Amino acid sequence: MDALLALEDGRIFPCRSFTGPGETAGEVVFNTSMTGYQEVLTDPSYRGQMVVMTYPLVGNYGINPEDMESTRIWVSAFIIREYQAFYSNFRATGNLADYLKSWRIMGVEELDTRALTLHIRNAGAMRAVISTEDKDPSSLVKKAKASPSMTGLDLVKEVTSSKPYFWENGGISSCQPPLDELNSRVWKSRGEKKSVVAFDFGIKYNILRNLEKLGFEVLVVPATTTEQTVKALEPDGIFLSNGPGDPEPVHYAVKTIKNLLGYRPIFGICLGHQLLGLALGGTTFKLKFGHHGANQPVKQLSTGKVEITSQNHGFSVDLDSLVGKEIEITHMNLNDNTLEGFRHKTIPAYSVQYHPEASPGPHDAEYLFQRFKDMITKQES
């Protein structure tokens, strides 16, 4: 089915829908991963975005329940060069087109993804509309310009869990008390396992898998959870998750994090890193086209070691805004010299902009989860 993609700057790309009729809007970004398209689709950090895969052939290994990173697909649309309907993989349980259609997400192919990627790289990520119904370029450009801008948009409230839950035995387990009645008696393995409260700003399952693998008892709480509730739980550590969109409108979380500084060790990833930066008095800014992919080089400043990392974010903490705030810069991006990690010199708190849990991507940075456990152990000794 013929379709048309129109960017807000007037650039038009013809394509074909492999998921049927429809129309959708969002910010277009490109992802450089060669595999892992199901993990990309189900990453809540992509809420409000259309994802262009730079690798040309997609769909060849199908989809399966084990590769989901959340309960559903979050992208606004999926843009690829060539769709492979006939998958071949022993783990596969279905094809990509049916998976997208089950969530009413548009998938388009036969689009010049190289040209689109180069355009975004040069002009920056921007809003767009894809339609099989409206083929008028001027009409679609007007619709793209009228769609919400990512800057100033709080998307966390759209992806966070509405109630707390435990992560145990590799899956979600219900938490009986409601959020406003939580206290330290909720822990099932108190004294046997270290307990972690994980804020869900759009958390990925592989983060929770890594925390459980280290022996933590993990309670996931909604993004709006207050510091009073966290303190009533008396956890051993606090985790700040990844998530979508602009960190600055998520002021409720920044306030909570600020009030929790120094209470328990804190570890933040991606949006959690940005929110921690804001809580410490820093500022953030929007990147030109963001970092989306599994091959971003990051330098660990203390050792000089270069890690190849998985990333997905469109905003960054301003490095200069943390100067003079007792902050040690720990990691830097070697592509554009943006801030990738920091720690507080006196408070047990640190964060990284990238995804040490990967999924998809390399596992160079998995050591950061062990560092979190070591920090908790040291704090208690």
The C-alpha R_g of the chain, in whole angstroms, comes to 21
Whether cis (ω within 30° of 0) applies to the bond prior to 360 is: yes
Catalytic residue among 8, 27, 270, 344: 270
Going by their DSSP bridges, the two strands 77-79 and 49-53 should be labelled as parallel
SS3 106: strand
**Which residues neighbour 293 within 8 Å (Cβ) at sequence distance 6 or greater?**
31, 32, 33, 54, 310, 311
- Which residues are 316's β-sheet partners? 285
Any idea which residue has 């160079």 for tokens? 364
- Return the amino acid letter for 215: G
Residue 90 in tokens = 């022993």
Specify whether 69 is catalytic. no
270 is catalytic: yes
Question: Which of 126, 202, 200 has its CA nearest to residue 163?
Answer: 200
Contact 273, 244 (CB under 8 A): no
Provide the CA 31 distance to its chain's centre, in angstroms.
13
- What is the spatial distance between Cα 164 and Cα 252, in angstroms, rounded to a whole number? 17
Tokens representing residue 330 in the block: 């720990």
Calculate the dihedral angle through the C-alpha atoms of 153, 248, 332, 41, rounding to the nearest 10 degrees: -30
* Interatomic CA distance for residues 283 and 247, integer angstroms: 10
CA distance 52 to 145: 19
Q: Could you confirm whether 355 is annotated as catalytic?
A: yes
* Active site residue ranges: 270, 355, 357
